[in-house]
Amino acid sequence: MMETMAVHGPGIITEEEPFTPGHRACSGCGEALSVRLAAKAIGNNAIIVNATGCMEVVASPFPHTSWRIPWIHTLFENTAAVASGAEAGLRALVKKGKRPEKNVKVVALAGDGGTSDIGLQALSGALERGHDLVYICLDNEAYMNTGIQRSSATPFGASTTTSPAGRESLGQVTWKKNLPAIAVAHDIPYVATACPSYHRDLMKKVAKALEVKGPAYIHVLSVCPVGWRCATEDTIKVGRLAVRTGVFPLYEVENGQYKLSLTLTKLEPVDSYLKLQGRFRHLTEDTIKIIQERVNREYAKLVEMASKSSPSG
C-alpha cells in the first residue's frame, strides 16, 4: 500500500490516520474527507489550530477526540492569530533552548465563514506578518454548523437559510468572495486551491505547503451533502464537477506565479454541476446562463494569469 500511496513531492503518505475514524461528521461529509486527507499529508509533527465550526464539533465532543496530534480550538474568528502565537512561541522557545528544534509545523483549519467573514482580519494579519504556518480553509460555501446560513463564500444563486430563493429572490445575489486572490495579494510564498475529489493533488499541495518557509494558504472546496442538498454518495462527483466546469479551478500560486493544476481543454457546462444540488434547483435557464458566462470569464482570466506566469514558478 505504501508504494501506491506515495504522492509526488516531499510528503510520503502512509496508512496512518492522524484524524481518526469515530468523528461525528455527517455521512458523506466532504469536509471531513478534506481534513482526513490533509492530516495524512501533515503527519505527526504538527500542531493543529482549529476554528469553531463543523470540524471542531465533530472532532472533539468530550471525552472523545479524533486527533492523534496536538490540537487546539479556542474561538471562531481568531484561528490565524492563535496559530501566529503558537508559531512565534515555538520559534522563541527553540531559540532560547527551551524546546528542541524539531521543525514542528503549525497548521490552521477553518471553514469559509471562519476565514472569509469573521476570521478575515486575523488571517490577513497572520499572512502579512509572515508567520511560518499553513492555513487551510475548508470551504463548504455556507455556515453549515449553524444550519446552512449564507457566507461571503456562498456562490451566486445558491439558496441558503438566510439567502432563501423566493418569488423576489434567486437566493444568494452576490458572487463568491475570491479568498485565494486575497491571500495572493498578501504576497505570500504559496497559495493553492484543492478539492478532495482530486485527493492526490490535495495531499501533494498540503505536503508542499508544509515545506514552504512563511505563510501558505490552501483553499479546499468541500462538498456538504446536507447544505448543498445532494446525495451523500455524490460528494466526490460534485467536487469533481466543480473543478471540471471551471466553477472551482485547481491551481497553485507560487511566489505570485499562477499555475493550473489541471489542464481542461473544454469546460463542462455548469448546468451539469448545478443540477446535482438542491440548493440550485430553483435557478432558471437565464440565471444559469449568467453563471456560465461568469465562470467562462473568470476561468479565462485564470488561464491568462497562468500563461503570463513564468513556467519556473
Query: Which residues ranging from 216 to 245 are in contact with another protein (CB under 8 A)?
Result: 225, 231-237
Residues 84-123 touching another protein, rule: CB under 8 A, are 84-93, 95-96, 98-99, 102, 104, 106, 121-122
Residues 120-179 touching another protein, rule: CB under 8 A, are 121-122, 124-125, 128-129
State the minimum distance, in angstroms, from the CB of residue 11 to another protein: 14
Cβ proximity of 221 and 55 under 8 Å: no
With binding defined as CB under 8 A, does residue 20 bind another protein? yes
- Grid cell in block for residue 288: 444559469
Beta strands at 190-194 and 216-221: parallel, antiparallel or unpaired: parallel
What b/e sequence results for 160-192 when a residue is b if at least 16 CB atoms lie within 10 Å of its CB, and e otherwise?
beebebeeeebbbeeebbebbebbbebebbbbb
Q: Which amino acid is at 164?
A: P
- Grid cell in block for residue 150: 449564507
Nearer to another protein, 85 or 256 (CB): 85
Residues 175-204 touching another protein, rule: CB under 8 A, are 196, 199
Q: Which x/- pattern over 47-86 shows residues binding another protein (rule: CB under 8 A)?
A: x-x------xx-xxxxxxxxxxxxxxxxx-xx-xxxxxxx
In this chain, which of 6, 14, 45, 166 binds another protein, going by CB under 8 A?
Answer: 45
Q: What is residue 158's DSSP assignment?
A: -
How many angstroms separate the CA atoms of 158 and 274, rounded? 9
Nearer to another protein, 14 or 169 (CB): 14
Strand partners, 73: 50
Residues 239-298 touching another protein, rule: CB under 8 A, are none
Nearer to another protein, 49 or 306 (CB): 49
